[in-house]
Amino acid sequence: MPTASNGSVSLYYEADGDPDRETVVLLGEAGYGAWQWGWQHAGLTGPFETLVTDLRGAGRSDAPAGPYAVDDLVADVQAVLEAHGRRRVHVVGAGLGGMVALELARVSSRPRSLALLGTAPVGSDLTLDPLFGDPSDPDALETSLGAAFSRDFLDAHPDVVEQVVDWRAAEDATPEAWAAQAAAVEAFDVSDRFYEVDVPALVVHGRDDAVWPVAYGRRLADELPRGEFVGLDGGHLIGIERSRGVNDRLFGFLGA
């Protein structure tokens, strides 16, 4: 099991595909384990090397006492990239992971490009609680998926819902670690520093996102110097709900 260390914090990561290909790093939403990237991992590995890492607090990474800051998570990602020997990478981030991607691009030259799924330039107005489910409570995990997916998706894919609940029970953050990650979202604000993120940026957002409103995605694309917006019908976890459409757009963007 490969791990990297940022001080005393051990960080799990997993790389798949040809190491001679360009690397795509996948950074996830608050509270969720690496399960959330199964759909993009399957679609991108091969043409690219994919690197999935659990943010501190979730999955197989350590969960030190919080609160966390986006700066902490950026330092964690830098440690993972150093351990894996990658200098320049494409970064795909969802929710909190998108905030980490933005800050990584602002403070370093590592990102070749950014793809931001359901994220926002500022977190103080967001209420993330509907997305949280205690991993020890399967009913709470299933109920909280009502904030992550559209009603149409939930009704059409009960098998996916059942599998996601199982994955969440195994990998998601505890209540304490969730609160520590949510604090990083709440404190984040890049709204007066858009100009410092001067890499190509694809912003993909679910039009029916009930927690991270689509207006935030539109603002990101409008304000980033090289931003492009794509709206898709669906909820917050648009990379799962509309995986084919998201993957097609990622291929077109990253390939360019």
Rounded (5°) CA angle 51-37-178? 100
CATH number for position 101: 3.40.50.1820
pLDDT of residue 3: 94
Q: What is the pLDDT of residues 52-83, one digit of tens each?
A: 999 999 999 999 999 999 999 999 999 999 99
The total domain count for the chain is 1
Percent of the chain with pLDDT over 90: 98
Strand segments (E) across the chain: 3-6, 9-16, 23-27, 49-53, 89-94, 111-117, 201-206, 227-232
- Give phi and psi for 250, each to the nearest 5: -60, -45
pLDDT of residue 173: 97
What tokens appear for 136 in the block? 């020890």
| Calpha distance 209→240 (Å, rounded) | 13
134 falls within a domain: no
| Calpha distance 161→50 (Å, rounded) | 25
Question: What's the rounded mean pLDDT across residues 75-102?
Answer: 98
135 falls within a domain: no
pLDDT band at 87; cut points 50, 70, 90:
very high
131 falls within a domain: no
Q: What is the pLDDT of residues 224-256, one digit of tens each?
A: 999 999 999 999 999 999 999 999 999 999 988
pLDDT of residue 118: 98
103 falls within a domain: yes
- Give phi and psi for 196, each to the nearest 5: -85, -5
211 falls within a domain: yes
Q: What is the pLDDT of residues 29-39, one digit of tens each?
A: 999 999 999 99
Statement: the pTM of the whole predicted model exceeds 0.85: yes
In this structure, what DSSP letter does residue 127 have? -
Length of the chain: 256
Which residue range(s) make up the domain with 210? 3-125+175-255
Q: What is the pLDDT of residues 180-196, one digit of tens each?
A: 999 999 999 999 999 99
pLDDT of residue 255: 87
pLDDT beyond 80 at 133:
yes
Q: What is the pLDDT of residues 198-233, one digit of tens each?
A: 999 999 999 999 999 999 999 999 999 999 999 999
217 falls within a domain: yes
pLDDT beyond 80 at 43:
yes
161 falls within a domain: no
What tokens appear for 54 in the block? 């659990």
150 falls within a domain: no
Are the C-beta atoms of residues 234 and 149 closer than 8 Å to each other?
A: yes
